[in-house]
Each structure stands twice: as C-alpha cells, then as structure tokens.
Amino acid sequence: MTCKLGSPQATRRTTSKKCDDFVMDIEEDNKWRKPNGLFDLLRNNTMEFCCSTSLHGLRYIGENHRHASERIFWLISFLISTAVVAHFIFKIWIRWNTSPVLVSFADVPTPVWNIPFPAITICPQVKVKNTSFSVSSTLLKDNKTDEEREKLLYSRLVCDIEDFESNGNDTVDNRAIKFIEEVAPEIDEVMFECYWRGILESCSDIFTSVLTDNGLCYTFNILSSTELFNNGTIQREDKHLDHGETSNWSLEGGFPDNKANEAFPRRALDAGAYSGLTIFIYMENENINPLCSFSIHGVKALLHNPTDFPNVVNQYFRVPLDRDVVIGIKPNVMSTSAELRSYPPERRQCFFTTERHLLHFSIYTQENCDSECYTNYTLKNCGCVAYYMPRDKNTPICGPGKNQCMKEVLENYASDDEGLSKCNCMPACAEITYDVENSHAKFSWLDTLNAFDKIRGSNQTTTAKEKIARAAFYYKERQYVTSRRGELYGPADFLASCGGLLGLYLGFSILSLVEIVYFFTVRLCYKFQSSEKKHPAP
C-alpha cells in the first residue's frame, strides 16, 4: 500500500509521508476491501493510533514509508523512556508506601502557655528514715524479733541490702506497701517552701505522693489517679495521686479557649525563673542512712508529661543537697495532621488516643504503654509484679525473694522478642517531651544565716542539723517550634509527581489515557461493525 501525497501538484511533493494521509489511505482502503480478519483490523487501528496520538515517538513508528531501522530506533527509544519512567514512578511509590510521613517544623513559633508545665517528680534519696526504722542497727542485731525481720524484709523492696540479708518471701501483701509509706519522708520532711510563678504555696497542696520504682516520691502537676488509670486498677482507688484537681486539657485538643489561669495542668505564662517552680529541699542529718542511700545525699528529679506515670530509674537527674540548682526546660512538641488519620498506625508510626487502649492506663502515651508492657512481662516471667506497678486486686506483689528474677527481667526486657518489641509501643501522634539543662553552685545558706545573726548582735554560731538545697525549674524561652507529622505525598502530590515524569519522558497526560481507551475499545468496535456491514459474510 502506498500513501498519497498531501497535494496533487508535483511541485509540492515531499520526501516524508504524512500520517494524516496514511490514515486516509486506511479509511479509503477499508471501503473497498475487507480487512483480513481481526489481526488486520487491529494492525490498521494500531497504526492509525500511532499516527494520531500525542505520545512522543509513536508517530514515527506509525508512518508507513519509514524504514524498518527507523521504526526499530523509535520503538526502542519509546520502550527505554517507558522503562525509565516506570522505574522512577516505582521508586516514588516505594518511598510513599514505606515512609509516607514527613516531619517538618511549624512556620510560626508557639508560646509556652499553650502547653502544660511539665510534671515534676521528686524522689528523696532517703527511702527509710532512721527515726522510723534503723536498717543499719537492725542488721547488726544477732537476735531480731519477728517484727524487725518483717520490716527488714519490706526494706529490701526499696534498699539494696541483698549482701546482708538475702532470704525473703516470693510475694508480700499490702502491709509491705503500708510500711514503705510509713517509713518514707513525708512531704514536709523533703520540702519546706514552694513558689509557683513567684507566689508562695504550700508544698503539700501542689505536690502529691506517688509510689514509683524509686520508692515513695512526690509529683507536681500530674493528672489525678482517676484520670490516669482505668477502673479495676489498684492505683485508681488508693490515696496516691489524689489531689482533687480535674484536667481540662488533652494531648490532641490542648486547653479550652475559655480557660485561663484556672486550667489544670498548670502552665507557665512566660519564660524565666519567676514564671516557673522553685522549691527548697531539705533533709535532716539524722534521717540519712548511708546503707540504704549509698551515701548519696539529695533527691532525684524527673520531668515528664502530666499524662505519663513517672519512670524514675532510667530518666532522672540529681539535685544534690547544699547546692543551688537551676533547671532550664525546653519543650519538644509533636503533632500530627488530620490527613494521616486515614493511614494505618504502622505506616504513620504513631497512635491517636482513640486507636490504642491500654489495660491499666486510660490515656495512651508511649511511656504508659512501656510501663504496662514491662508490668505484663514481669508478671509472665516472675508470677508477680513490683509494688509500684499498675495491677488489679488479684495480682500478687513480688517480695524480696523475687528480686533476682526482677533483675533478670530488667536485663532481658528490651532484647526479648516477648518483651518490648511485642508490645508495639509506638509514640502517640500528639506528644510532649521536655529537655533539661541544669547547672548548680554551692548554696551557703548557713553562712548567710550566721551573717544575719552577727548583724543582730548574736555571737553564737548556728550549726546545721539538716542539709538544704534550692531548685528552680523554668522555661528557657517563651516560645518553641512545634514539629509536625504530615503527608510526604498526598493523592494530589503523588499524581503530580507521576504526571510530571510521564509528561517529561513520554508526553503523557490524562487525555492520552482516554485516547488509548478510545482507540482500542470504542473505535475498534466501530470499525469492526462497519466492516461487517460493508463486507457481509457470503
């Protein structure tokens, strides 16, 4: 078959055959000759598509007069371009499928009064007061009473005296917890002055007791037990964390707009020590037990989210006695865009609060999930849980006889497949953490006191029966920059990326897809029907 020239005049002959003329040839030829079966019809339709499509390079394949080598060249070029664009689109899809989340910084900083001041947990190094029960003196006794043996047994839950007293029961009852509470320093034996935002407040009003992995501690600005724990958990009903304050804040929703200074958890209104918390810590010398405290004087401090149950052992820093300590706080806030709610948690690598429910804790955070996971792992391997762990009324409390088991649990927990990895404790989609920077200097409070006495005319020198420290917790800056999880590629972004590559390499568009569908469905069927009507079977 030969193609007609685009003009009947010989002077306007060209050396290249136009596809439009070739299409006209096919249509003219089909009027007089029936195509040789479906294959012939499909071939003609394909050649017509190549001549008519906007896809790059296919025109040269469809022109009938082209040499075979030219057609092969353009066919190979088209296939290479198709392979390259398919490779890049596949890489985009892999990246979108495996890492659909992009963490970015907010464009505008946020003031610190939009978030709660951190919960601050203070744990005195003294776990057992000498005035309540002398561990050292009792250990030295040859003939101990049953009551003294029982108290030594309970002391081993908070004091590491295994080298001196190694026997013990595998489980204990609530009398052990009652003993820990009775012999621990009370709040007014740990702190004597507390200033919140520059105003003197009673320490017992703003701090509440809590049983932790470091004995009896005191926490500021934490949610109450009724909000932190679920029904059926022992910690919900006991007196600890029962400060009577009701929270009107949530990790995802923040503070209500109609609440100001009365909102709980408490929040600082500015940066600097005057807008934070300052506490005066003291400990009487007679209560310091070197055997139980390893001769370390002071307290352990932990800053955490108000919705987190404090895990002191792994995250604390020390506030030594006779020192003035300043703790600068920098909040780290992570939020998640609403577009990621449609993604499964495994892809976005976080849980919204409504997606993951814990057995003991009513609010999901990564720390609470870790605490519950560690509790379950301890119960599985030791048959009991530590005195401070969340539990129900039927769960036994581990006694000193299980101390070795719990040490092994602590060593194996992170690496065991049945431990932390099995619990899938991903971060919460909305979370707050706090970084701290602390520095300290000598607190010569006794020298100052003696200097005032001399000014008043007193010649007596005051000697200290206690050690005192001052700790100031405050925000370093009045604003912070929020991090935000968002979509790496939304549907529109993914389509735009793919469309850009297809357009660059192939000249492809949505109408090109419509064109392909049209030529190989509607137009092909129409031609087949027209051929049957013009050339009916004999």
Long-range pairs for 255-259: beta carbons < 8 A, 24 or more residues apart:
255/114
Single-letter code of the amino acid located at 185: P
CA 193 vs CA 222, 283, 351: distances in Å:
19, 13, 40
How much is the mean pLDDT over the chain?
83
pLDDT the model gives residue 7: 43
| Inter-residue contact 403 to 156 (CB < 8 Å) | yes
Name the token pair of 26. Answer: 């096919």
* pLDDT(461) > 70: no
**202-216 pLDDT per residue, tens:** 999 999 999 999 999
pLDDT the model gives residue 8: 40
Between residues 435 and 463, the one the model is more confident about: 435
How many whole angstroms separate alpha carbon 155 and alpha carbon 175? 12
Lowest mean per-residue pLDDT among 6-20, 28-42, 168-182, 293-307: 6-20
* pLDDT(12) > 70: no
Averaged pLDDT, 162-178: 79
pLDDT the model gives residue 456: 61
Q: Where would I find the H helices in 117-173?
A: 135-140, 146-155
Q: Binning pLDDT at 50, 70 and 90, where does residue 505 land? A: confident
Using a pLDDT cut of 70, give the percent of the chain over it. 85
Lowest mean per-residue pLDDT among 60-74, 284-298, 514-528: 284-298
- Whose structure tokens read 């790059």? 56
pTM score, whole prediction: 0.79
**44-71 pLDDT per residue, tens:** 778 788 887 888 888 888 777 778 888 8
Secondary structure string (H, E, C) spanning 62-127: HCCCCCHHHHHHHHHHHHHHHHHHHHHHHHHHHHHHHCCEEEEECCCCEEHHHCCCCEEEEEECCC
pLDDT the model gives residue 9: 41
pLDDT the model gives residue 3: 39
pLDDT the model gives residue 531: 65
Averaged pLDDT, 305-320: 91
Q: Binning pLDDT at 50, 70 and 90, where does residue 27 land? A: low
Of these ranges, 295-299, 384-388, 407-411, the one predicted with the greatest mean pLDDT is 384-388
3-state helix, strand, coil in the chain (%, to 5): 40, 20, 40
Averaged pLDDT, 97-114: 88
Averaged pLDDT, 101-105: 90
All domains of the chain in start order, with CATH: 10-98+491-534 (no CATH), 104-487 (2.60.470.10)
**257-283 pLDDT per residue, tens:** 765 567 889 999 999 999 999 999 988
β pairing state of 207-212 and 215-220? antiparallel
Of these ranges, 144-148, 183-187, 251-255, the one predicted with the greatest mean pLDDT is 183-187
| Inter-residue contact 343 to 489 (CB < 8 Å) | no
Name the token pair of 37. Answer: 């079966």
Q: Binning pLDDT at 50, 70 and 90, where does residue 241 land? A: confident
- Sequence-distant (6+) residues with CB within 8 A of 233 are 360, 390, 391, 392
Q: Binning pLDDT at 50, 70 and 90, where does residue 355 land? A: very high
pLDDT the model gives residue 1: 39
Torsion 408-414-417-420 (CA) sign = positive
Neighbours of 425 (CB within 10 A): 22
Lowest mean per-residue pLDDT among 18-22, 77-81, 272-276, 456-460: 18-22
- Sequence-distant (6+) residues with CB within 8 A of 355 are 345, 364
* pLDDT(6) > 50: no
Please tell me the number of Cα atoms within 13 Å of 157 on its side-chain side: 32
* pLDDT(5) > 50: no
Give the distance from CA 216 to its chain's centroid. Answer: 28
pLDDT the model gives residue 376: 94
Averaged pLDDT, 448-477: 73
CA Rg, the chain, in Å? Answer: 39
* pLDDT(142) > 70: yes
* pLDDT(224) > 60: yes
Cα distance between the two ends of the chain: 26
pLDDT the model gives residue 39: 67
β pairing state of 323-336 and 466-475? parallel
Neighbours of 199 (CB within 10 A): 7
